[in-house]
Amino acid sequence: MMQFFGLLIFFHCVATAKAAKVVVRTSGSALPYTGNYGTSNQSLLLAELFENYYQGVIPKCYGLDGPVDVNVGIAIRQIMDVNEREQVMNLNAWIRLSWTDCQLRWDPDQYGGINSLTLPHDKIWSPDITLYDNNQESEGGLPGLSDYRPTVHADGTVHYNFPTVLHSLCTIDPLYFPFDTQVCPLKFGSWSFHGFDVNVVNMTDGADVGSFKKNVEWDLVSANSVRHELMYQCCPEPYPDVTFYIQIARKPVSYVVNIIFPCILISAIALLGFILPVDSGEKIGLEITVLLALAVYAQIVSDSLPSSAQIPYIGVFFSCSMIMVFASLVITVLVLNINFRGQLGKQVPRVVKTVVLNWLARLVFLYNSDNRVNPVQKLYKKKFLCEKNGLDNKAFVEDELSGEKTKNIKNGNNNHVKQIVPSIESPTQAMIDVMKDQLLILRAVNSNLQDKAADEEMTGEWQLVALVMDRIFFILFLFFTVIMSLTTILSAMGM
């Protein structure tokens, strides 16, 4: 009798253990789960959901032969970087996916009111949504796709939200740099399934920017989404995708302050070469320095921009500035040649006197009606003659320059001689000889002064021609610099 009761207790324990044992099938293998239905509704639910579930194939149910609709959404957190040279945009975002798995449905009332389950990603089927223009070297798909857990609801709806960093190709058009606006598309779709199996649709009309953090270089203008359905020659089935068009605008303040404004100042410094006096000897050195500075700035901008079939407006601006500075360098050499032409003993041609010293000099307010030499040059000429000949009597020198001394001597008027030679009441032959010698000396001095005055007048005329040309080209270059700067900057701004 005791043996009978012992066997009865043994078989009862074995039956109870079998009743409490649940097999959860995951990834094609049977993983035992030991629990009690009465104490864990979630364990019972998991056991029944995954008893005949295989996550490697698209979930299909009786009477539901259509494709699985996968809703794709994105919440943009921050524009991390836009590499113009490599044409890549790095974006911090939250990916939002949702679809309906007909094999993961249950009645919450039968399982203690359980409405949702949060499961490992590899325990259920999930679509292979991929960023088509992904620039990251990885296994494929979306970065972080398998690192988080989706949520399954009682009606079979699956929500999978996870953060990621997207590295997407973005074609940069530098035409309007630094006032440019770029559009970077983010194209999401299934890489393995066609539209008859997985139908990709956009969750909303655009990306969620409610939690967007501002970038120091770029502003987010818009992020609209559009669904496309493409047909390829390889396959008769359609391939849908959802593309988010991320429109970003560059903040130009730093580029204006650090690049454009210094370039304008450097171009303005080149204009000072036309005002700089010739005697300073720094006109050519100034123009060469400005040309080198512009070349350095142009190289800095070129290194930061991608290669493009279109030349950016800022590149046109630098090129025009360098051409104008080079032209000013050539003109400076020409003006210097003209300025020192008088020292070679060449007269100013009559045409040059008429056009430059008469007409153009009036336009730039350098015309002098007496001798076409401005007062500064006239005073310089008198001072030079006095110091050159060691004469302290400026009135005498000015009288000689005016020609009155020569006229008086030629007319035999000896009043001036009397001012130099002491008056003698009874001149003798010796005194007459002395007076003749003094007269010859005066004539020689007068002739020498006349020659020097003629040379100085010729030199002054050439200097005035150079000064007028400097003033004319200064006005022309100032006008073209302002027009060029306004045209290129306004064009770059899209105005």
Q: Which residue has the higher pLDDT, 379 or 63?
A: 63
The answer, yes or no, to whether residue 425 has pLDDT greater than 80, is no
Residue 214's pLDDT is 92
On the 0-12 / 13-18 / 19+ scale of CB atoms within 10 A, 167 is buried
Q: Give 106-129 pLDDT, tens digit per residue.
A: 999 999 899 999 999 999 999 999
All domains in the chain, ordered by first residue: 20-54 (no CATH), 64-251 (2.70.170.10), 271-421+429-492 (no CATH)
Residue 60's pLDDT is 83
Q: Report the C-alpha gap between 407 and 150 in whole angstroms.
A: 116
Cis preceding-peptide flag for 178 (omega within 30 of 0): yes
| E-state strands within 303-450 | none
Predicted TM-score (pTM) above 0.85: no
Residue 450's pLDDT is 72
Q: Give 344-402 pLDDT, tens digit per residue.
A: 777 888 888 888 888 888 887 776 655 444 444 454 455 444 444 544 444 444 444 44
Confidence of residue 407 (pLDDT cuts 50, 70, 90): very low
Which residue shows structure tokens 């496309």?
228
Per this entry, what is the length of the chain?
Answer: 495
Q: Determine phi and psi for 115, rounding to 5 degrees.
A: -100, -20
Residue 369's pLDDT is 52
Residue 242's pLDDT is 96
Confidence of residue 140 (pLDDT cuts 50, 70, 90): low
